[in-house]
Amino acid sequence: MTTQRWALGGDLSVARIGYGAMKLTGWPRGEAPSRDTALAILRRAVELGVNHIDTSNYYSRAGVAANELIRQALHPYPDDLVIVTKVGALVEGSDIALPADRKNGLTPDGLRRGVEANLRSLGVDRLDVVNLRMGDLDRSQTSLAAPLETLLALREEGLIRHLGVSNVGAAELAQARTIAPIACVQNLYNVSQRDDDPIVDACAEAGIAYVPYFPVGGFQPLTARHLEAVAARHGATVPQVALAWLLARSPNILLIPGTSSPAHLEENIAAGSLRLTAEDLAELG
């Protein structure tokens, strides 16, 4: 496993390979593992050195909620465990099916409900990091300024330690940084989808963690001959190469690959030991 670390928010030391809990619930679509398997995955992740778990109260489907699984598996939490959650237009998992005019999680009341729901379901008094997730409503009609100011007020109440933003462009990130200290950015990025290259570099320069979601392609797994060739040279899998590429891309990148498979969890963590050569990186472009 990787021993590389990053100081999230400047004071939370996390291993650069973490775990994303969404797939434990099958939300928003997909098959969830059994409850016993989900609990075993979370416990094994921590055993393997994971101390950064990404979740949300709205990762919930068919009576299975990620936060409740995390609490059952790991509470009382290890002292160094950092749980990152998110709030936004969605408050409950079922909100994803609502029309835009009924997704009211970005209001002051909705954001407070979202934060309090995360506190309650995780069983904590303060959330380590809360990401403000944009992108679930019409971008031309939605500004992050007012929601971020609401979260900043909740931070000042002591309910949140650090703030991050998700699904944002460069201009929104710049705006966010004028409102509050930003600990992390969580956007779509992987070896095949690199539109965020400038944001990755801007975050690195500013000491902000960049946390790519869908690091191995998400619902459309990565497939490309160059990935397969590099994987074959190392006796690795394509997802392991994709994760290793991200670790090599910039030191501020933190990974949160999600899986509902214990075997895939082991493979993802092992990617931290995969060292890509200059030849590999040149081939991957």
By the 10 Å C-beta count (0-12 exposed, 13-18 middle, 19+ buried), 60 is classed as: buried
Give the active site residue among 19, 58, 59, 77: 59
Is residue 186 within 8 Å of 86, Cβ to Cβ?
yes
Cα–Cα distance measured from residue 126 to residue 92, given in angstroms and rounded to the nearest whole number: 20
For residue 281, the SS3 value is helix
Backbone angles phi, psi at 229, to 5 degrees: -65, -45
Say what the alpha-carbon torsion angle 78, 81, 87, 90 is, to the nearest 10 degrees: -70
For residue 183, the SS3 value is strand
Is residue 266 within 8 Å of 257, Cβ to Cβ?
no
Full DSSP string of 43-71? HHHHHTT--EEE--TT-EETTEEHHHHHH
Is residue 82 within 8 Å of 53, Cβ to Cβ?
yes
Active site residue 210: no
Active site residues: 59
